[in-house]
């Protein structure tokens, strides 16, 4: 069963609505950052090279724009506040903070990044690092350069 919600990302005091889809049966969520491309457009996926790392994949279009983020076992890796907001079907909105090269999933002082997983693809130079708290919660995703939409 799939559920769809809107995502709001604040970017330099501006915000745009994005879409995410959650498949609770398979425990996967996909945050879609692109309004300009059709779903059929091909993407390059940045992924972890280590088998036992958390399965978080970042999709980018061939022109370098961010397409989306797929998180497997999202209930294990997303911060409690994000999960609560996602579980609220009344508003259907999720707020993430975005700096030019950093997507922040939890900007409270309670979660400090202490470990990281590097995401790469042989098809692109862009690299992303998923930053995790000591509890294994995703604090943010830091890119090697500014991301575009």
CA–CA separation, 42 and 54 (whole Å): 24
pLDDT for the residue numbered 90? 36
Residue 149 lies in a domain: no
The residue ranges of DSSP E strands in the chain, in sequence order, are 2-11, 14-23, 28-32, 43-48, 56-61, 66-72, 93-99, 102-104, 115-121, 124-132, 138-143
pLDDT for the residue numbered 13? 38
**Parent domain of 91:** 2-143
Judged by DSSP in three states, 119 sits in strand
pLDDT for the residue numbered 120? 96
CA–CA separation, 143 and 127 (whole Å): 6
Q: When comparing pLDDT for 131 and 32, which is higher? A: 131
Domain count for the chain, please give it: 1
Residue 148 lies in a domain: no
Residue 14 clears pLDDT 60, i.e. is over it: no
CA angle 33, 36, 42 (to 5 degrees): 80
pLDDT for the residue numbered 5? 46
Residue 146 clears pLDDT 50, i.e. is over it: yes
pLDDT for the residue numbered 36? 56
pLDDT for the residue numbered 9? 52
Total-model pTM: 0.83
- pLDDT, tens only, 61-106: 888 888 899 999 999 999 998 888 787 543 456 777 888 888 888 8
pLDDT for the residue numbered 144? 94
pLDDT for the residue numbered 83? 87
């Amino acid at each position: 069963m799939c559920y769809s919600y809107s995502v709001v990302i604040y970017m330099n005091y501006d915000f745009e609505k994005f879409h995410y889809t959650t498949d609770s049966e398979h425990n996967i969520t996909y945050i879609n950052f692109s309004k300009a491309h059709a779903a059929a457009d091909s993407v390059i996926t940045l992924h972890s090279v280590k088998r036992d790392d958390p399965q978080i994949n970042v999709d980018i279009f061939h022109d370098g724009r961010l397409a989306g983020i797929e998180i497997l076992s999202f209930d294990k890796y997303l911060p409690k506040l994000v999960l609560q907001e996602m579980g609220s079907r009344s508003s259907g909105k999720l707020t993430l903070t975005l700096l030019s090269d950093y997507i922040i999933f939890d900007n409270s002082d309670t979660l400090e990044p202490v470990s990281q997983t590097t995401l790469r693809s042989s098809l692109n130079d862009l690299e992303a690092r998923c930053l995790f708290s000591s509890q294994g919660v995703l604090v943010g995703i830091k890119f090697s350069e500014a991301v575009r939409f």
